[in-house]
Amino acid sequence: MISEKIGIKLWDLRAEARDELYLLIDKHFKRMPRNSDGTIKSSDPSYNDNDIDALRHSYVSAVYVIEFSYETSELLGRLNEFHPRRNEIRSRNMDLWNNSVGRIYGKKLKRGDDLFIALLKALKEGELIITPNDPRKYKGPKRITRLPKSFVIKVKENKTGANIEFFDVRNKRMMTKEQFIASIKAGRYPGYAVRKHHSGEFPYSTRDRFSFNNLG
């Protein structure tokens, strides 16, 4: 599984889940556009603001839940919509809506055919939004419009619930707990500190005005 690869970047997982999805669409739903060598295109104008777009957002969000956590998936979904010029308001609403649907299925299913078939059913039954003109409004956490100077999220916990892997959002860098603690002590992450506990040391985020900027 992807999560067993030490230090995998979250953005790499997104690309792999996307390509995995396109194979599933081609197998179960409809033929996907091809490159000259016969392989499925990883990007194409026909993938935007439609059923493929809806399936992509929901599937990738579900995979993040499966491989990491619901919280990580929710935050990454909002971060993906960070750049104000990336898409307009209605398309962004569509993406956030479909991300939220994907997270629900990610809590119940494993990645692969079963997850895709469930999301395809959700698509056909109108649970997903397939056009920016859909009047339904996403009412979850607000889109992130500004990032703190240093922004790290947890991406993995151990069996006792302790945070053990982290992701530096600005620099797209994965870190173990030990690496993150060393970086904090070296002064590279203002806004974070180290707390001592009887079982060891743990990184934590100090209070600031960014409600999403915490390690859970």
Q: pLDDT tens digits for the chain (216 residues)? A: 333 343 456 778 889 999 999 999 999 999 999 999 999 999 999 999 999 999 999 999 999 999 888 888 888 888 777 655 555 889 999 999 999 999 999 999 999 999 999 999 999 999 999 999 999 999 987 766 666 777 888 887 788 878 888 888 878 788 899 999 999 999 999 889 998 888 789 898 886 555 555 565
Q: What is the dihedral of CA 86, 90, 96, 102, to 10 degrees?
A: -110
The reported pLDDT for the residue numbered 181 is: 94
Distance CA 94, CA 85 (A): 16
User: Of 51, 92, 69, 81, whose CA–CA distance to 153 is shortest?
Assistant: 69
The pTM of this model reads: 0.80
Residue type, 28: H
The reported pLDDT for the residue numbered 36 is: 97
The reported pLDDT for the residue numbered 29 is: 97
Distance CA 70, CA 49 (A): 24
Distance CA 190, CA 65 (A): 28
The reported pLDDT for the residue numbered 214 is: 59
Cβ proximity of 175 and 168 under 8 Å: yes
The reported pLDDT for the residue numbered 213 is: 56
User: Of 27, 178, 11, whose CA–CA distance to 113 is shortest?
Assistant: 27
What the block records as the tokens of 4 is 């067993």
Residue 132 CB: number of other CB atoms within 10 A?
18
Distance set, CA 206 to CA 74, 75, 118, 147, 195 (Å) = 21, 18, 40, 15, 11
The reported pLDDT for the residue numbered 180 is: 93
The reported pLDDT for the residue numbered 1 is: 35
